[in-house]
Amino acid sequence: MKRKGRLLLVFSVIAVLVVLFSQCMDTSKSAKATETTIAGAKTCVQCHKDISNAYLKNVHYAASAPIESNNQINLGADYVYEYDENLKVAIEKRDSGTFQVVYFKGKEELAKRFDIAIGAGKNAYTYASWRGDILSQLPLSFFKQINGWANSPGFRTSAPDFGRIIESRCLECHSSFIESKNKNTNSLVVSREMLKSSLVYGIDCERCHGPAGKHVEFHLKNPDEKEAKFMVLYKTLTRKQRVDACGVCHSGNDAELLKSTFSFKPGDDLKQYYAHLSPSSEESQLDVHGQQNLMLEGSKCFTKSNSLECSTCHSPHDQIKGSLTLYSKKCISCHSSIKHTEKTLANAMVKTNCIDCHMPLKPSKVISFQQAGQSEVSPYMLRSHRIAVY
């Protein structure tokens, strides 16, 4: 009896090992998707056709793009920006692309190719050029407000600057992914370099929804399953989590960063990524550029209601631009009776356009631009998300 029992044990151990071993072989044959496996935006189309098509017109989709794929610089005649009578930067189309070319006393000094457009061009495009794996910003940008070229924001106006490195931080908000690595330039200095070939342009589906490898794998195998599996459901998140999922890129770029936001997934807390983020109801504390999240969170509409969030007013996939009348309907859905004074009521906008009075366009404190030959800087106007009486 004893011996039989031992034999049985030995057999069952072998059986378990065989099963385990064959499973190991299996997984090594077809790599199984994990929580962090990215499927890629192309794979979503087959099952989410309408959303994927609508999304092609969304600004997030075009938040960065390679130059060859669209016409961001197809802007008519060549242009020359004069720093002074000797020093100029010209925009020139050549066989190998379009360049920003520096001329000193009529002689070409340097030419840098437009490789990437950053921004969807709603208000502006700024451009970047690769040298090896180093990306630098070009000194001239295009501004819709003047429908023309001007000095890139923050660049000096005495001479063109081609040495402004674009780090992965820009791309954390304007692209879906780029890999960075440390590079020892000498024994003391360590610099971060980006791997050019790893750049995924634009903000794609999984940047907002999180890695979907397992979701895709499951639904391909189970075509009859109608409930989403292995996918964070926005409707199950708290309001704070939903607003954070937008705020990861809409809280501004001056907060101290604790780790790369490329790893952010819906449901995560922004505090894991930023050291200090403080919503404020004071206009002086925040800037209309990039800080929509903090401005909204400081507004009474947000603090005194439980439901106001970004998606109350913005649809995440469609072309976001709505008319101000449509946005105003959202205001009226909460404010059916308003105590306006006679003076305010006399204004013709009062029934149909709440936005221009309560979310006015304001000049950014951090971004402005300068046109050639003008001493005045031009303001960069954006919509304030501090909903209030101005």
Which range binds ligand HEC by CB under 6 A, 25-33, 181-189, 268-276, 328-336? Answer: 328-336
- Asked if 276 is part of the footprint of ligand HEC (rule: CB under 6 A), the reply reads no
* Buried b / exposed e along 126-159 (16+ C-beta atoms within 10 A): bbbbbeeeebbbbbbbbbeeeeebbbbbebebee
- Asked if 215 is part of the footprint of ligand HEC (rule: CB under 6 A), the reply reads yes
Cβ–Cβ < 8 Å for 162, 140: no
Q: Which of 320, 366, 372, 377 binds ligand HEC (CB under 6 A)?
A: 320
Q: Which of 245, 270, 277, 286 binds ligand HEC (CB under 6 A)?
A: 245
Which range binds ligand HEC by CB under 6 A, 25-33, 66-74, 77-85, 287-295? Answer: 287-295
Q: Which of 16, 335, 365, 374 binds ligand HEC (CB under 6 A)?
A: 335
Nearer to ligand HEC, 88 or 289 (CB): 289
| 232 Cα distance to chain centroid | 20
Separation CA 137–CA 190 (nearest Å): 21
Nearer to ligand HEC, 88 or 209 (CB): 209
Residues 185-204 that bind ligand HEC (CB under 6 A): 203
- Asked if 145 is part of the footprint of ligand HEC (rule: CB under 6 A), the reply reads no
Nearer to ligand HEC, 187 or 341 (CB): 341
* Buried b / exposed e along 101-114 (16+ C-beta atoms within 10 A): bbbeeeeeeebbbb
Separation CA 313–CA 330 (nearest Å): 7
User: Is the backbone of residue 267 left (phi > 0), alpha (psi -120 to 50) or beta?
Assistant: left
- Asked if 253 is part of the footprint of ligand HEC (rule: CB under 6 A), the reply reads yes
Cβ–Cβ < 8 Å for 112, 97: no
Separation CA 59–CA 327 (nearest Å): 18
- Asked if 49 is part of the footprint of ligand HEC (rule: CB under 6 A), the reply reads no
Q: Per-residue string for binding with ligand HEC, 99-138, x by CB under 6 A?
A: -------------------xxxxxxxxx----------x-
